[in-house]
Amino acid sequence: MGLKGFAEGGVASIVAGCSTHPLDLIKVRMQLQGEPAAVQSLRPALAFQTAAASHAVHMPPPPARVGPVSVGLRIIQHDGAAGLFSGVSATVLRQTLYSTTRMGLYEILKNKWTDSETNSLPLPRKIAAGLIAGGVGAAVGNPADVAMVRMQADGRLPLEQRRNYKSVVDAISQMSKKEGIASLWRGSSLTVNRAMVVTASQLASYDQFKEMILEKNLMRDGLGTHVTASFAAGFVAAVASNPVDVVKTRVMNMKVEAGKAAPYSGAVDCAVKMIKAEGPMALYKGFIPTISRQGPFTVVLFVTLEQVRKLLKDF
């Protein structure tokens, strides 16, 4: 049963991750809006505008923040439709390492802690199982997570500043050589914290919503129940995890130059600087694409998982 849980969770996670990758890419680009690096990349254009309008009374307005549709269209204009799948190889590796581990471990803990007499698992135990499973999975998958964030963020930089990783293997290799092995676990505390929050809220709430629907005879155990419970779980996970996700994205994407202090000393420093510069709602940057991705991702994840379980029930 143990290994089967890992296999089922892994297949479902890879399918869900690949199918919602463009939404994840848009989310990352939106989370980086307003960061100094984005302003830096616009300086040549702004300098030209300022020089051309040197006799004008008003300075050119700062670049406006754009919504998910505009971000998506801009990616397609600059990099073609294939640009929406930038970093997808890292997504596959991340889901293989992180999600396979968390889904399999959650099933093991859930089975171990389920009351044999009542065949039920209280919500606090589900949450505890999710916290543990998410933390372990994130620690295993962090290198792929860093690579994925960087590959997704690369397209927003000027050509001369891009890292131009060829694949997730190339990204991990270059990071190891140029920044040391420790760079592969940059932001790992954030990744672990986010994964604990996501896994606990996503997996525990899915099981809880599904049980409630079936116990109250609102629907039968079928596709309708799986979609309803999984979408509700996706919303809960998005609300709980977005602030940690924004900070994680920025810490992982920061450029650390030799002899210079890092832009952020850690997660708390990043959050404080972001709130001071951009206001507290900056922690919910990219929330629309987050819920737009987390909803479909969670639906695809659990619907696929339920189907894979049916296929493998005799094994």
- In a domain, residue 247? The reply is yes
Q: What is the mean pLDDT of residues 249-254?
A: 82
When divided into structural domains, the chain yields a total of 1
pLDDT bucket at 36, cuts 50 / 70 / 90: low
Give 52's Cβ-side CA count (13 Å radius).
7
- In a domain, residue 156? The reply is yes
Dihedral, 47, 53, 59, 64 alpha carbons, nearest 10: -60
Q: What is the pLDDT of residue 47?
A: 38
Q: What is the mean pLDDT of residues 144-165?
A: 81
- In a domain, residue 49? The reply is no
Nearest-Å Rg of the Cα atoms of the chain is 21
Contact 4, 111 (CB under 8 A): no
- In a domain, residue 220? The reply is yes
pLDDT bucket at 107, cuts 50 / 70 / 90: very high
- In a domain, residue 62? The reply is no
Least confident of 67-81, 212-226, 254-268, 271-285: 254-268
pLDDT bucket at 35, cuts 50 / 70 / 90: low
Average pLDDT, the chain: 83
Q: What is the mean pLDDT of residues 24-30?
A: 83
pLDDT bucket at 1, cuts 50 / 70 / 90: low
Q: Is 217 left (phi over 0), alpha (psi -120 to 50) or beta?
A: left
Instruction: Decide: pTM greater than 0.75.
Output: no
- In a domain, residue 46? The reply is no
Cβ-count burial 213-239 (b if 16+ within 10 Å, e if not): beeeeebeeeeebbbbbbbbbbbbbbe
- In a domain, residue 44? The reply is no
Q: What is the pLDDT of residue 64?
A: 56
Structure tokens given for 32: 């980086």
The CA-to-CA distance between both ends of the chain, in Å, stands at 9
Query: Which pLDDT tens digit goes with each residue over 46-72?
Result: 333 333 434 444 434 445 567 888 888
Contact 249, 267 (CB under 8 A): no
Question: Which structural domain range is residue 191 located in?
Answer: 2-37+67-311
Residue 102 sits in a domain whose CATH number is: 1.50.40.10
- In a domain, residue 264? The reply is yes
pLDDT bucket at 158, cuts 50 / 70 / 90: confident
Contact 138, 200 (CB under 8 A): no
Going by C-alpha positions, the residue among 76, 99, 98 that lies closest to residue 86 is 76
H helix intervals, the chain: 2-19, 21-31, 36-52, 68-79, 88-94, 100-113, 123-153, 168-179, 188-215, 223-253, 267-278, 287-311
